[in-house]
Chains A and B, each alone.
Chain A
Amino acid sequence: MPIEQKKLESLIAEKFPDSKIIVEDLAGDNNHYSVAIESSVFNGLSRIQQHQLVYQSLDGLMDAELHAMQLKTKGTT
């Protein structure tokens, strides 16, 4: 069950305001994405915690609707 790139982008932007977000559709099938987020929210968090935040923000979308998401997160410091 794929998801449109615009929808994914706005979902993330909504949960991570004031951050740099780059979403790429890797396979052109709306189902394999690369997502990079740079946000001050991540400052001081471990990588696992950063990724967990993103997964949580997607609210079960991952795996249920989205097969593959490459994730890169970064704090702003």
Chain B
Amino acid sequence: MELDNATKESIEKMIGENEVFLFMKGNPDFPMCGFSSVASAILKKCGVDFGHCNVLDNEEIREGIKAFSNWPTIPQLYIKKEFVGGCDIMKEMAESGELIELFNTRGIKTEIS
């Protein structure tokens, strides 16, 4: 896993410009992997605005993000530039209420549906 400067910069730009950002396979309306599907469904259910990057469209990001976070899988959730976790962690946090709490403490507007 390698991370060149240009890729690192574009990752930092994405997570810097979006308070909530998901690296995923496919997009929130048409996820291309079950894990990405669950991850984006959780964010939708929380009612937060989030940006996303479809890593299937960008091989550098797809590999680079793994090195960036020292995390070998996708999806990956970032809140205010901080890596929160992948699908399993998001699921656990959503079930326990920690995710909503995290959004609240970071001042991110949620709307539970």
Contact = CB atoms under 8 A, between A and B. Distances in A.
Partners in one complex: yes
Interface of A: 47-48, 51-52, 55, 60, 62-63, 68-72
Contact of A72 (B83, B84, B88): B88
Nearest to B1: A60
B72 A62 contact: yes
Interface residues of B, number: 15
Given A62-B72, A63-B72, A63-B73, A51 B89 contact: yes
B88 A70 contact: yes
A51 B86 contact: yes
A71 B71 CA distance: 13
Contacts of A51: 71, 85-86, 88-89
A68 B72 CA distance: 11
B97 interface: no
